Amino acid sequence: MLKSANCGDLRAGDVDIQHTLAGWVGRRRDHGGIIFVDLRDRSGVVQVVFNPDVSPLAYEIAEQLRPEWVVQVRGTVQRRPAGSENPLMDTGDVEVAAESVEVLNPSQTTPFYITDDVEVDESLRLRYRYLDLRRPVMQRNLIIRHQVVKYIRDFLDARGFLEIETPILIKSTPEGARDFLVPSRMQPGNFYALPQSPQQLKQLLMVSGIEKYFQIARCFRDEDLRADRQLEHTQLDLEMSFVQEEDILALTEELFSTMVETVVPEKKLVKPFPRLAFKDVMDRYGSDKPDLRFGLEMSDVSDLASETDFRVFHSILGQGGIVKGFAVPGQAGMTTSQVRDLEQVARDAGAAGLSHIRFRGEDSLEDMTEESVLSSAGLRMPVGWSRRLAERVGAGPGDMVLLMAGPARQVNQWLNVMRLHMGDKLGLADPDTLIFAFVTQFPLFEWDEEAERWESSHHPFTAPAPGEENMLDGDDLGNINARHYDLVCNGSELASGSIRIHRRELQEKVFEVLGYTREQVNDLFGHILQAFEYGAPPHGGIAPGIDRIVAILTDSVSIRDVIAFPKTQTGTDLLFGAPSQVDPGQLRELSLDVTQ
């Protein structure tokens, strides 16, 4: 090794020991005859002192050093003079008195400073990702990512799971997204698909008798990257035989809670993880991945809305829509311009409007008078009504109520945006607390308005609730419950999974409901249907997203900050310049022709 110690590891116990260090030059300070250099490697930073009395040659070289030069320094660790210790640095009690220094490689001036506290445009960071990853915060993110994956591997190994790799070149696996295709050179005109997840492969491994499988799997989905998504993401893919829902949930809960306690013990964790029904979370939070760190729970007020003269409410209720809302504590004093800002947030979310009612400070709801209630135009109502509304949504004096009207599905989406906005604006969510929860009892199918057909809420391999299989033959398909569960945390969906179908007839029935023809079923799923005929055991699993959990654990705003080499929102790799055109010869070999 070109070094005998790590910069960031040096402590008072190392005093008087001679060490060789190697790393990057950070700040350099000339202090009249003495030069101080912050030397950085992955472990951290230590101060190196160049004193011409110790080594005139080293001092002379130190005068030339610039940020990000790579150097090797030999010197003796010494205690910093009293009063010059730096409590903000882990190594702040000591410094290294340089006896010699060698420049291993100089550096050009970097396009941005290699520190945590500078604002840098993300595209510049991605273009120079190798420099961006030198920043301590990014190194910490990668270290935590490593610790998370290592924890998962050790945890599952100790419980008898086998880590098994599955192919990247495979056949299309329907998980609801578009496939990436890879042309076959040897079989012109034919394509592999990159797996959207190893779903069918892990199920086949259960048929193989593996019983407990996992993989840190890369999944590819050719989606428009509207949200904080990536074309390729990493998940812990897991499957077990002879299990029921509770077995998977208990394992997942133990894995996540002990992992958090081990990797980021400073985070507060709520245990046990609540288990909430899909319908219940939709009613209360308008979302199937609620942030449970704060309340602002919603209530349907359609019946109360129908008593008003408000035309908007009437026309929406007349079309089968709903009126729903929530109370925001202590916000009755909002100014007109603040209310306007809120209405803009609602419009940005796609809503036509937002109604509000403010209960200005009295002692109790009983004392409320007409004058003390302020509401949006068109919503003036007698005091009795306002009181009933306040009771329904849990508002009191000093509070504001936000109401939205429209088709149930959209109202939930809009209100979810408003709830998260208010939670954020009022600082209601403690950033150091993690509230995990399982959402269960999802419907098996959802009606796709546009395509006019049933879609799987999760994926077609999810089993219907026990006793509800017969409903597949009926016309109440929207009310079949699925053996599907999600793990959510702080407003993010972290994992999805289900108990699977393991019998051919039932699986065929589900494909039929989803509108596949017999030929399509044979072509796309013949292999797995056949496998089910050879003693497939009951099985189920789950697949937590690694990028997302690491982003939460590291307080990263974007999953791009926890992926070494991510792509931009437009799917571009700015470092390599991918995707890119290829040599015409490569296209010919693949029997491909690009048309305009």
Does 393 contact ligand ASP by CB under 6 A? no
Of 65, 342, 417, 542, which lies in the binding site for ligand ASP, with binding defined by CB under 6 A?
542
Between 44 and 443, CB nearer to ligand ASP:
443
Of 75, 325, 541, 566, which lies in the binding site for ligand ASP, with binding defined by CB under 6 A?
541
Between 233 and 358, CB nearer to ligand ASP:
233
Contact 478, 283 (CB under 8 A): no
Between 225 and 269, CB nearer to ligand ASP:
225
Stretch that binds ligand ASP, among 75-83, 102-110, 341-349, 491-499 (CB under 6 A): 491-499
Stretch that binds ligand ASP, among 286-294, 401-409, 535-543, 583-591 (CB under 6 A): 535-543
- Give the pair of three-digit tokens for residue 585: 């010869």
Distance, first Cα to last Cα, the chain: 55
Between 236 and 381, CB nearer to ligand ASP:
236
Stretch that binds ligand ASP, among 115-123, 326-334, 529-537, 541-549 (CB under 6 A): 541-549
Cα 74 from chain centre: 44
Radius of gyration of the chain (CA): 30
CB of 547 to ligand ASP, least distance (A): 13
At a CB cut-off of 8 Å and minimum separation 6, what does 28 contact? Answer: 35, 36, 37, 38, 62, 65, 66, 67
CB of 62 to ligand ASP, least distance (A): 54
Does 382 sit behind a cis peptide bond, omega within 30 degrees of 0 on the bond before it? no
Does 497 contact ligand ASP by CB under 6 A? yes
CB of 543 to ligand ASP, least distance (A): 3
Between 195 and 286, CB nearer to ligand ASP:
195
CB of 173 to ligand ASP, least distance (A): 8
Helix, strand, or coil here: 104?
strand
Give the C-alpha separation, 423 to 333, whole Å.
Answer: 17
Helix %, strand %, coil % of the chain (to 5): 30, 25, 40
Between 355 and 498, CB nearer to ligand ASP:
498
Does 456 contact ligand ASP by CB under 6 A? no
Give the C-alpha separation, 42 to 138, whole Å.
Answer: 11
Between 331 and 440, CB nearer to ligand ASP:
440
For the beta carbon of residue 579, count every other beta carbon within 10 angstroms: 10
Helices (H), 100-135: 122-127, 129-132
Between 373 and 543, CB nearer to ligand ASP:
543
Give the C-alpha separation, 38 to 47, whole Å.
Answer: 5
- Give the pair of three-digit tokens for residue 40: 């950085």
At a CB cut-off of 8 Å and minimum separation 6, what does 47 contact? Answer: 36, 37, 38, 39, 80, 86, 89, 91, 94, 95, 96
How many residues of this chain bind ligand ASP (CB under 6 A)? 9
Between 356 and 548, CB nearer to ligand ASP:
548
Does 287 contact ligand ASP by CB under 6 A? no
Between 46 and 542, CB nearer to ligand ASP:
542
Between 321 and 541, CB nearer to ligand ASP:
541
DSSP annotation string for 40-68: EETTEEEEEEE-TTT-HHHHHHHTT--TT
For the beta carbon of residue 182, count every other beta carbon within 10 angstroms: 15
CB of 481 to ligand ASP, least distance (A): 16
Contact 175, 197 (CB under 8 A): yes
Between 250 and 582, CB nearer to ligand ASP:
250
Between 204 and 390, CB nearer to ligand ASP:
204
Between 132 and 179, CB nearer to ligand ASP:
179
Does 166 contact ligand ASP by CB under 6 A? no
Does 543 contact ligand ASP by CB under 6 A? yes
Give the C-alpha separation, 61 to 28, whole Å.
Answer: 12
Does 460 contact ligand ASP by CB under 6 A? no
CB of 346 to ligand ASP, least distance (A): 31
Between 23 and 497, CB nearer to ligand ASP:
497
CB of 149 to ligand ASP, least distance (A): 17
Does 507 contact ligand ASP by CB under 6 A? no
Give the C-alpha separation, 319 to 470, whole Å.
Answer: 32
Does 91 contact ligand ASP by CB under 6 A? no
Stretch that binds ligand ASP, among 3-11, 204-212, 264-272, 495-503 (CB under 6 A): 495-503
CB of 487 to ligand ASP, least distance (A): 11
Q: Pick the closest to residue 25 from 11, 33, 35, 13 (CA basis).
A: 35
CB of 163 to ligand ASP, least distance (A): 16
- Give the pair of three-digit tokens for residue 210: 């593996």
Give the C-alpha separation, 67 to 112, whole Å.
Answer: 11
Contact 16, 78 (CB under 8 A): yes
CB of 511 to ligand ASP, least distance (A): 17
Does 252 contact ligand ASP by CB under 6 A? no
Does 234 contact ligand ASP by CB under 6 A? no
CB of 123 to ligand ASP, least distance (A): 30
Helix, strand, or coil here: 551?
helix
Does 498 contact ligand ASP by CB under 6 A? yes
Q: Pick the closest to residue 240 from 500, 513, 40, 39 (CA basis).
A: 500
CA distance to 191, 195, 336, 503, per residue, from 179 (Å): 11, 8, 49, 27
CB of 236 to ligand ASP, least distance (A): 10
Give the C-alpha separation, 513 to 515, whole Å.
Answer: 5
Stretch that binds ligand ASP, among 246-254, 326-334, 341-349, 494-502 (CB under 6 A): 494-502
CB of 548 to ligand ASP, least distance (A): 12
Residue 266 dihedral angles phi and psi, to the nearest 5°: -75, -15
Does 496 contact ligand ASP by CB under 6 A? yes
- Site mask for ligand ASP (CB under 6 A), range 170-209, x = bound: -----x---------------------x-x----------
> What single-letter amino acid sits at 43?
S
Give the C-alpha separation, 279 to 291, whole Å.
Answer: 16
Residue 221 dihedral angles phi and psi, to the nearest 5°: -135, 120
Give residues in contact with ligand ASP (CB under 6 A): 175, 197, 199, 496-498, 541-543
